[in-house]
Structure 1
């Protein structure tokens, strides 16, 4: 006789088998006739031009991840707030520690500059013959000095 967890495991295995069999049968039955039009990128009925891949700013990923973290935190706070009177001050202390740790993580991300949208371009030093190591804006400074000398 199976335990309660045995029934759950049996349910999961049976579900996985059904999904696997359905995918396998679908692969055998469906027609496979690719052509150039079927392999084109779909652009809402318009004829596509260029590459469909767009460079995506990684900062959107960081902002989305931070949103998910804090959203899950709020979801964990709701049940705690509902039963706060029954569970007492120990649960309040535990939830305070939880929120404090999440807040420390937020301060860490803020300190690392992950939430800044305008990140300055890093300066890359390079070697110029006869001058030495200079920044990227060396030519701009040189032109400005020449303009000042002519005035």
Structure 2
């Protein structure tokens, strides 16, 4: 697991909205933030985790991923947005996916998390195997 020495750089809501815009535009889907309050709630989940537990970077990233995907705040692309927001958070905090990681398998595992066929801990463990410092 990737521990954090100090408070992480948090994702601004505007970045998550931009991620959704990029995903929906790529597929010709309508971009609409239908429930800003749900997105704000999802954005607070990692901060609450930080305040009350001692999470590592992957746990916080998964909190973003799961929270955004589950909030259904956007008309389209909620899972894609959540998935990429988690990696944007990791990148902002000096971590990335190992170049040899099977990103397709990670995406399948993420869908299993959203569908509740695996637990958050299972997904975190799987993701942790592929997260490395940016300089590698």
Q: TM bucket by the smaller chain?
A: under 0.3
Q: Which is greater in Rg?
A: 1
Q: TM-score, normalised by structure 2?
A: 0.23
Higher normalized contact order (CA 8 Å, seq sep 6+, divided by chain length):
2
| TM-score, scaled relative to structure 1 | 0.22
